[in-house]
Amino acid sequence: MEIKDRILVIEDDKSIRNFLRAILEANHYDVMMANTGSEAYSLITSQCPDLVILDLGLPDMDGMKILRNVREWSAMPIVVVSARSHEKDKVAALDMGADDYITKPFGTSELLARIRTAIRHTRTAAATPGLGQSGTFVSGNFTIDYDKHRVFVDGKDANLTQNEFKIVALLGKYAGRVMTYDYIMKEIWGPNMKNDNQILRVNMANIRRKIEKNPAQPQYIFTEAGVGYRMVEAD
Amino acid sequence: MKNIKIKNSIWKNCLVTIAIFAIAAGFCFLLQRVASTDTHVPLIFVLAVLFISRFTQGYVYGIAASLLAVIGVNFVFTYPYFKFDFTITGYPITFLAMLAVAISVSALTTQIKKQEQIKLEIEKEKMRGNLLRAVSHDIRTPLTSIVGSASAVIDNYEVLPDDKKLELTKDIRDEAQWLIRIVENLLSVTRINGSSANISTNLEVVEEIAGSAVQKFLKRFPDVKVDVNIPGEVLLVPMDGILIEQVIVNLLENSVLHGETDRIVMNITNNEREVIFAVEDDGRGIRPDVLPVMFEGGLHTEESEEPDSRRNMGIGLSVCMSIVKAHKGDMKAENRKEGGASVKFSLPLKKEQIYGN
């Protein structure tokens, strides 16, 4: 018998719980449900689910509080689902440690893809402690060679500058996940960089001119307007 | 930030006041040389006060200017020149009258300005009303279909064949997706906060916003081919990225839903002053009678071949227009000679925001 991944859904709306259970069980996940924040706490601590789907608008507490508390002791993947669509809410949840953020209304295929990505990432992070980057990242004709510090497109060196490579390498490390502008800025330029991401945007524009066929229709690095960048998943 | 703004406006108003007085004084000196009479002087200064009230903000400058004019005229232009003398026969009354005229003129012009403001507010309120009406129409139809289709499946579960049930459920999904589109547009309008059409702009890279808009669009219409052409240099333009993304998505969707095309080209070009987004398709084009009013909102195709159709362009385009207007840009639509429609909008940019090549 196969071992199913267990997903805890924290959501107070009955019809959303209903259809989430239906699609998750149809896709071979074990599903647990929690209506309230306190119920969610006891299930998270007692059952240790493989992934948590967290609605930010709960009747008894703000979902962000659950996110903050769980992140104090666990790196379990948490996908935030919320009706708050302003990009600053997304940024706040991602910076707080959410693995992903999906805005209601969302499509089921999109949700399933995000769940798969989040679970896989936690697995690979656990398998390679320290997150030392080595080897290669390959997606189609796009290759990041971490050892040589080079990026190849169609077998040709893209000639990225050092900072450009650092940005691409960072996105490659978390491929499939949105990295917020702030996070990338801090990782590449350090915490003392002034809080203005213009330099990152210009760098990204130059990277795209080197690796994408058409920078306005990217194949490898996507923009989440107002939030950050996301690299395509590895093959 | 706000302080600087207030200081700037004080400076501006003072400058206007001084400039108009200088012109008036210069004119009086000139007339004094030519005609060697003084009777016109108070009238010219009343005129000056009128202009000052018109071109400055609030009562303060107008009233201050009228007092200044009364004192100044007495000092400079009445005998004895360059001396105060309020005892000349008849003059005190003349100047009192001048003061009264100046004050009431400045009060009047302020009043007129206020009324203009109110008129503008009413206009905006009217637009909002139009939008609401259009929206409630656009929401009712799909809601009816959703409730109806769902009830049809539930009430006739045993008798309906499977393919019919699937069809009805698909309708529910499609209608709900249409609702999502409307709600997203409405949310955009709430981001243009309040009456002043103030938006919070950040410098955004043009191709990023265009790219993420196209990506969003392709999620809904994966079979449509979209080509985006961008300028060689990196353009950073002040905008609310989410709103401009919404504009582009709306235009792309309109090409598919109204133009019924599956090939769209978006050309992004720039000159020193602005960046221009042009969405062009080879579809049905825009009906000539719709063309002049298509951005006005609440546009319904009641007289057209699709009565009561919700496939109208009203909300999407009027939202686009208000977003572009809030960015101090412009929007135009036309039919292409080769067939199909072309909708262009422009956003202003500053020269230093063009980077390298």
pLDDT tens for residues A62-115?
A: 889 999 999 998 889 999 998 877 888 899 999 999 999 998 888 888 899 999
In angstroms, what separates the C-alpha of B248 from chain A's closest C-alpha? Answer: 13
Q: Is A162 on the interface with B (CB under 8 A)?
A: no
Inter-chain touch B230–A206, beta carbons under 8 Å: no
Tell me the shortest Cα–Cα distance from A19 to chain B, in angstroms: 13
Residue to mutate among A201, A206, A207, A208, with most B CBs inside 10 A, is: A201
- Residues in chain B, how many? 357
Contacts of B230 in chain A (CB under 8 A): 214-216
Q: Considering Cα of A153, then A121, then A91, then B212, what sign does the dihedral take?
A: positive
Task: Name which of A201, A209, A218 is nearest B211 (Cβ-Cβ).
Answer: A218
Asked if A210 has any chain B CB less than 8 Å from its own CB, the reply is no
Interface test with A, best of B214, B219, B227, B234 (most A CBs within 10 A): B234
pTM for this prediction: 0.73
Which chain A residue has its CA at the smallest distance from B226's CA? Answer: A217
d(CA B357, CA B233): 5
Examine the fold and report which residue of A91, A110, A129 is the final residue of a domain before the chain moves on. A129
The count of C-alpha atoms lying within 13 angstroms of the C-alpha of A231, restricted to the half-sphere facing its C-beta, is 24
Cβ–Cβ < 8 Å for A217, A205:
no
- What's residue B71's pLDDT? 79
A67 and A52 within one domain: yes
Do residues A181 and A216 share a domain?
yes
Percent over 90 (pLDDT), chain A: 56
Give the gap in angstroms from C-alpha A201 to the nearest C-alpha of chain B.
7
Select the residue of A87, A201, A222 nearest B205 (Cβ to Cβ): A201
- Residue range(s) defining the domain that contains residue A20: 5-129
Report the phi/psi class of residue A56: left, alpha or beta, with left for phi > 0 and alpha for psi in -120 to 50: alpha
Give A206's contacts in chain B (Cβ within 8 Å). Answer: 234
Who among A85, A222, A225 is closest to B245 (CB)?
A225
Of B211, B236, B355, the CB nearest to A216: B211
Q: What is the pLDDT of residue B196?
A: 45
| Residue after which a domain boundary falls, among A129, A146, A174 | A129
Q: Specify whether the CB–CB gap between B177 and B145 falls below 8 A.
A: no
| Distance between CA atoms of residues A32 and A13, nearest Å | 15
Count Cβ–Cβ pairs < 8 Å, chain A vs chain B: 64
In chain A, residues with a C-beta closer than 8 Å to the C-beta of B234 are 202, 205-206, 209
- The answer on A9 and A125 residing in a single domain is yes
Cβ-Cβ contacts under 8 Å, A107 against chain B: 219
From chain B, pick out residues whose CB is under 8 angstroms from the CB of A202: 205, 234, 236, 355
Which residues, in sequence order, are CB contacts of A221 under 8 Å at separation 6+?
Answer: A168, A171, A204, A207, A208, A211, A212, A229, A230, A231, A232
Kindly list the residues from chain B whose CB atom is less than 8 angstroms away from the CB atom of residue A201: 203-205, 208, 236
Would you call A182 an interface residue with chain B, using a CB distance cutoff of 8 Å?
Answer: no
Partner-chain contact B211 A217, CB within 8 Å: yes
Are residues A102 and A192 located together in one domain of the fold? no
Split into its structural domains, chain A has a count of 2
User: B207 vs A198: CB contact, 8 Å cut-off?
Assistant: no
Chain B residue numbers with beta carbons less than 8 Å from the beta carbon of A204 are 205, 208
- Using the beta-carbon criterion (under 8 Å), do B203 and A201 form an inter-chain contact? yes
SS3 B304: coil
Q: Would you call B207 and A224 a contact, using CB atoms and an 8 Å cutoff? A: no
Residue A85: the pLDDT is: 75
Smallest Cα–Cα separation from B187: which of A63, A103, A62, A94? Answer: A103
* The predicted structure's pLDDT at residue B314: 58
Q: State both tokens at B202.
A: 């950040």
Q: Is B75 exposed, middle or buried (0-12, 13-18, 19+ CB in 10 A)?
A: middle
**Are A150 and A197 in the same domain?**
yes
Bridge partners, residue B333, by sequence:
B343
> Domain of A43: which CATH number?
3.40.50.2300
A123 interfacial to chain B (CB closer than 8 Å): no
Residues A74, A162, single domain; the answer is no
Answer yes or no: do A214 and A107 share one domain. no
Which has the higher per-residue pLDDT, A162 or B316?
A162
Say which CATH number the domain at A186 has: 1.10.10.10
pLDDT on residue B305:
44
Q: Is the domain of A145 the same as that of A123? A: no
Q: Per-residue pLDDT tens for A189-222?
A: 888 777 678 889 999 999 999 999 999 999 999 9
Structure tokens at B49: 């006060």
Q: What string of pLDDT tens digits covers the 357 residues of chain B?
A: 456 667 777 888 888 888 888 888 888 888 877 876 667 777 788 788 878 877 777 677 877 887 788 777 777 777 677 777 767 666 677 667 767 777 787 778 778 888 888 888 887 777 777 777 777 777 888 899 999 999 999 999 999 999 999 999 999 998 998 888 888 888 887 777 554 456 778 889 999 999 999 998 998 899 999 999 999 888 999 998 989 999 999 999 989 988 888 899 999 999 888 999 999 999 888 888 878 777 765 544 444 444 444 445 557 888 888 888 888 889 999 998 888 899 999 999 874 444 443
A159 and A114 in a single domain? The answer is no
Residue B91 pLDDT: 67
Boundary residue ending a domain (A61, A95, A129): A129
Q: Which of A202, A184, A201 is nearest to A193 (CA)?
A: A184
Residues A147 and A117 in one domain: no
Torsion of the alpha carbons at B135, B138, B139 and B144, rounded to the nearest 10? 150
Task: Select the residue of B209, B215, B228 nearest A214 (Cβ to Cβ).
Answer: B228
The reply to whether A103 touches chain B by the CB within 8 Å rule is no
Q: Say whether residue A85 is in contact with chain B using an 8 A CB cutoff.
A: yes
Q: Where in chain B do CATH 3.30.565.10 domains reside?
A: 199-355
| Test the A interface: residue of B208, B221, B352 with most A CBs within 10 Å | B208
Asked if residue A174 and residue A59 are part of one domain, the reply reads no
- Among chain B, residues having any CB pair with chain A shorter than 8 Å are 176, 180, 187, 203-205, 207-212, 214-215, 219, 226-230, 234, 236, 241-242, 245, 266, 268, 355
Structure tokens at B87: 């005892």
For residue B4, the distance in angstroms to the closest alpha carbon of chain A comes to 22
Give the model's pLDDT for residue B319.
83
Q: Which residue has the higher pLDDT, A196 or A228?
A: A228
Confirm if A207 and A221 have CB atoms less than 8 A apart: yes
CATH number of B199-355, picked from 3.40.50.12780, 3.30.565.10, 3.40.470.10, 3.90.550.10: 3.30.565.10
Does one domain contain both A162 and A213?
A: yes
Structure letter (DSSP) for residue B73: I
With CA atoms as reference, the chain B residue closest to A228 would be B208
